[in-house]
Structure 1
Amino acid sequence: MASRPRNRQYRHLPDFLYFDKDRKRYVLTLISGKRKTIGSDRAYAIAVAKEYNLRMRPETSISLESLIIESGGINGEGAPLSDHIDRLMERIINDENPAKSTQSNWENDAIRVKEFFNNIPCCDITLEHVNDYINHYHAESSPNVQNRKVLFLKKIFSYAVDESLMYDNPANRKKMRRIEGKQRRRLTFDDFIKIRSSADQWLKTAMDLALQTAQARLEVSRIKYSIKVPKEGVCGCIWLDNPVNGIYGTLYIHRQKVKDKEASHVAIPIGAELKRIIDESRDSIASPYVVHRLPKKYSNPISSMVKHPTQVAPDYLSRAFSALRDRIGVKSELPLEQRPTFHEIRALSAYLFKQQGIDPQARMAHSDAKSTKIYTQNHVDWVSVPHAEIKVS
């Protein structure tokens, strides 16, 4: 309903300010409905009323700031966030140089952010928008996923703040969801042997390599039979011309999850057990990778995770392990989310090495490893771990 026109005698005054003739005082009506006496000085009363209305009744006031925002802002803060996403993403990727899989996830999230914030000015984004975004796209997601999406918003907003597009980062005020303790059960050595005994040769090779090296599926799938020199982003073997004290060469592992840390470069001596695994993996398939298989036509396209048609993709390795686990009934009494995956071989390896009195931390590429030898090869420091083996058969 339209508001009643002001009396002619008050039209020269700001809204909600009037002059009490009996008391000779100016009176301002607050948003609470309470009336506050300002005083008898007309100029002062008008100034106070204008400032009060500007702050407490912005929807009824026109200010220089509101006009600037409405025209897009000085730095673009009045424009929708979606207008800036492409440029912000370019900065983020250049600054943080994420792994390709991480970058792909970020780019998918950026599409959602552009869609959701397509008509919301940067300077108006609040915690309420953060909550609405999570509820709109990820209401049914796990706490872990929701927390990751909040962290992505926090990243985007931090760059927006850096460019003066936002005044603060409302995602910083978002309370993160509580993550339940790890539900997945550990893989026992007996379970490992049961699965291994029914595995195809390529999967058996992957399992054995994971057990001996304490590495995860990505590194296992990248191990090459032979490399000329150890280098960044490569996993492979350098062989000695003649074995020395039962050592046939060195397996170099660059663990990608912690690739920027010194501990991520691991040099593992190739003893009899590792040599056996590598020798037994050789077959009629011409492949540079120790873990390999001849896939069905077009089922293993070249990608960021697969460099050769015979190389096994990490996701396929995990799925094959889990499918075999379920087919032979290992831990079938547990809910699916609690059954051990291929990644649990890494934890089993650490446990078995520790049982031998060997610190597994360096082999696992953990930065808190103790008693490790570090030497330089091609300006890269590699952590040399002691020779150790886990007997499987």
Structure 2
Amino acid sequence: MAARKRSRQKRDLEANLYETGGYYRYKHPQTGKFHGMGKDKSAANAAARKLNAMLLKPNDHVSRVMATDAVLFSVLVTRYRNEYLPTKKLKQTTMDETGYRLNRLNKDLGHLQVCDMSIRQLAEYLDDSFKNNAYTKHRGLLSDIFKFGITKGLAESNLAEETLAKAADEKERLPLSKKWFDQIYANADEWLQVAMDFALISLQRRSDVCAARFEDIEGGYLKLVQQKTEKFGVRAHLRIEIGPSLEKVFKRSRASGIASPYIIHRRPKRIRESKDTTHWSQVRPEIFSKEFAKARDKVPEIAKLPAAKRPTVHEIRALGGHLYLEAGFSEEYVQTLMGHSTAAMTADYTDRHLEWTTCGAGLKI
């Protein structure tokens, strides 16, 4: 950034150097922050000359020619999105989440030239803009973008990789109890109650619950391919026997009066086409989460909790697994229904619902 033309009274001061009451301050041309330079005018001018030489971009013919080869970060994001992202073969939900993050990074950093970006700049951006898992996700995506940029000759180094890699956050959310489930259920609309019942009985993720169609019901079974774990094979391809509980859920869904191909459906306030749905009645996973949260926050006991501790729709899956075990079903039964490849993964969900008995051990020896 070029320095502003000095007033007549201050022409004997170097660019970006200011005097107030006999005290000199230097204004960083990139950050805009002021730094004290003491009361010695000669020393302050000398320091300002050195700083300007390092921080101000030269305004000459050579730099203007070189600048024509400079690449904006927005160009790097666009090429990453169009050339590399499709090759990763991500699930649609993951693609949507990545697209959202790319839009955010492009909006915030797209105007910058890649060659001028610094580790400090990215570190401060990540620290100021994101917390917890959002920090981890955006840092990881930035690193991937720079990695791609290096392979295309658009970046010289992976600046994001040099920023602080923070440890994953411990789970803050409280597990969803059956009591809370019932209270949320009482505040839910009809379609949301059906979705909650379906998720609780089937132990499926919100994306799989929302994707299930009536045509997937065949010969007393529901065929379901878990989107998140499809690439891991047989564990993800489930043929779920429809018992009395699931049958009741499906009958209730069919009785909605809406001719929908999806088991979980609703009549929106405004019917309009969307690239994210194949039928106007379809419920997207994020809508399931959003409406669940609305019903949840009507429960006074939950509403008093900090937002980070309130259980999300994902906790229905863990609660269902716990209820199956409590009812006497085997761990293998629950593990298979959840589509987990190991028992440890299932235990990670269900152990959060264990109730601990407080006791003493005060023997003196």
After TM superposition, the score normalised by the length of structure 1 is 0.62
Identity between Structure 1 and Structure 2 (%): 27
Question: Does residue 83 of structure 2 align to residue 91 of structure 1?
Answer: yes
Please point out which of 258, 264, 268 is paired with 2:240: 268
What is the identity, as a one-letter code, of the residue corresponding to 1:128? R
Number of residue-to-residue matches in the alignment? 281
Distance 2:71 2:183 in 1: 61
Q: Is the 8 A contact 1:302 1:309 kept in 2?
A: yes
1:364 counterpart residue number: 338
For 1:200 and 1:163, the matched residues in 2 are separated by 51
**1:348 corresponds to 2:319:** yes
Matched to 2:202, the amino acid is T
* 8 A Cα contact 2:206 2:313, kept in partner: yes
Larger radius of gyration: 1
Give the distance between the partners of 1:204 and 1:155, measured in 2 at CA. 40
SS, match of residue 260 in structure 1: helix
Look up the match of 1:237: 217
Letter in 1 for 2:342: D
Question: How large is the Cα RMSD of the aligned pairs?
Answer: 3.2
Q: Deviations 1:249-285 (Å, cap 9, x if unpaired)?
A: x212222233433233322121222112111222222
Kept after mapping to 2: 8 A contact 1:223/1:237 = no
The aligned amino acid for 2:323 is: L
Report if the CA contact (8 A) 1:116-1:133 is conserved. Answer: no
CA offset digits 1:192-229 (Å, max 9, x no partner) = 23333453331221111101111122221222112xxx
Q: In 1, distance between residues paired with 2:186 and 2:137?
A: 38
Structure 1 residues 141 and 107: alpha-carbon distance in aligned structure 2, compared to 1, 3 A threshold? closer
Quick one: distance in 2 between partners of 1:133 and 1:306? 34
Map 1:191-270 → 2, pairs under 5 A: 191-226=180-215, 236-238=216-218, 240=219, 248=220, 250-262=221-233, 263-270=235-242
Deviations, residues 106-130 of structure 1 (Å, cap 9, x unaligned): 440452366242x342xx5442232
- What is the SS of the residue equivalent to 1:251? strand
Q: Structure 1 CA distance, aligned partners of 2:72 and 2:187? A: 57
Give the secondary structure class of the aligned counterpart of 1:362.
helix
Asked whether the 8 Å contact 2:268–2:281 carries over to 1, the reply is yes
Where does the alignment leave 5 or more consecutive residues of structure 1 unmatched? 2-56, 60-66, 227-235, 241-247, 371-393
Quote how far apart the aligned CAs of 1:367 are.
3.0
Map Cα deviations across residues 46-100 of structure 1 (whole Å, 9 max, x no partner): xxxxxxxxxxx999xxxxxxx8996479xx6x54444444223322222213324
1:187 aligned residue: 176
**Structure with more strand by fraction:** 1
| Helix, strand or coil at the partner of 2:337 | coil
2:279 alignment partner in structure 1:
308
Query: Scaled by the length of structure 2, what TM-score is found?
Result: 0.67
2:126 alignment partner, one of 128, 134, 144: 134
1:105 pairs with 100, 108, 130, which one?
100
Report the residue type matching 2:78 in the other structure: D
Matches within 5 A, 1:117-128: 117=112, 119-121=113-115, 125-128=117-120
Instruction: Describe the SS at the equivalent of 1:296.
Output: coil
